[in-house]
Amino acid sequence: MPPSKENQIKPENWVDRYSDFLFNYTITRVNNREIAKDLISETFLAALKSMKNFKGEASERTWLVSILKRKIIDYYRRINSKKGKAEVKINYRNEGDDGDWLEQQVSNRDGVSAEDDLMNDELRTTIFDCLATLPEQQAKVFKMKTIDHYDTEAICNELNISASNLWVIIHRARKKMAECMQDKWL
């Protein structure tokens, strides 16, 4: 089934319509401007290559975000692979006429200790404990928006609420979560 008129792809508008949103989405996940820009470029390229697969079941933005999510996952897989972990440091030693290039494996400075793992587990448990104290709809909306990264339109459609109602619910949920985290975590 071809995409509906409102869900047709218009690549000529992607940069103007979605680049800021995609950048903000990406920078919070990779914390590096250049990498974020590269991932967005890869997303646009992948979307161009797979335009024929777009069925129009989601909005153009939602479709681009789903491609971007896979690019971010691929990025982290790449940097966490054995090859990514074995950072190579090259030193130049001036011995003889030409000198020598030395390659040394550098230890992973971003290593996570057992203490970090324990802290993350405790934080995760506390977050979900606090989430369980919220009213059902607030918890569902908070989880969809903040943890599962659904876009506003998808949440509103699924829960049959307006965007302004969604933001009121999110505000209240965040306030209660902050209070709970303050009590239980900090």
100-133 tens-digit pLDDT: 444 444 444 455 555 555 566 777 888 888 999 9
The whole-angstrom separation of Cα 171 and Cα 145 is 11
Over residues 155-161, mean pLDDT: 91
- CB-based contact 3:60 (threshold 8 Å): no
pLDDT bin (cut points 50, 70, 90) of residue 99 is very low
pLDDT for residue 61 is more than 70: yes
What residue ranges do the domains of the chain occupy? Answer: 5-82, 114-184
Specify the pLDDT at position 118. Answer: 57
The larger pLDDT score, comparing residue 20 to residue 90, is at 20
Fold entry, domain 5-82 = Rna Polymerase Sigma Factor; Chain: A (1.10.1740)
Q: How many CA atoms lie within 13 A of 106 on its CB side?
A: 11
Over residues 2-28, mean pLDDT: 80
Q: What residues pair up with 91 in beta bridges, in sequence order?
A: 102
pLDDT for residue 140 is more than 60: yes
Over residues 167-177, mean pLDDT: 90
pLDDT for residue 3 is more than 60: no
Q: Do β-strands 87-93 and 100-106 pair in parallel, antiparallel, or remain unpaired?
A: antiparallel
Note whether 5-82 and 114-184 share their fold. Answer: no
- CB-based contact 39:26 (threshold 8 Å): yes
pLDDT for residue 135 is more than 90: yes
The larger pLDDT score, comparing residue 67 to residue 183, is at 67
Structure tokens belonging to residue 121: 């587990």
Nearest CA among 64, 70, 72, 9 for reference residue 35? 72
Specify the pLDDT at position 88. Answer: 42
The whole-angstrom separation of Cα 132 and Cα 153 is 24
DSSP letter assigned to residue 58 = S
Sign, CA torsion 132/134/135/140: negative
The larger pLDDT score, comparing residue 67 to residue 53, is at 67
CATH numeric code, 114-184: 1.10.10.10
pLDDT for residue 87 is more than 50: no
Burial of 148 (0-12, 13-18, 19+ CB in 10 A): exposed
Q: What residues pair up with 102 in beta bridges, in sequence order?
A: 91
pLDDT bin (cut points 50, 70, 90) of residue 9 is confident
Phi-psi category of 96—alpha, beta or left, where left has phi over 0 and alpha has psi -120 to 50? left
pTM, two decimals, is 0.44
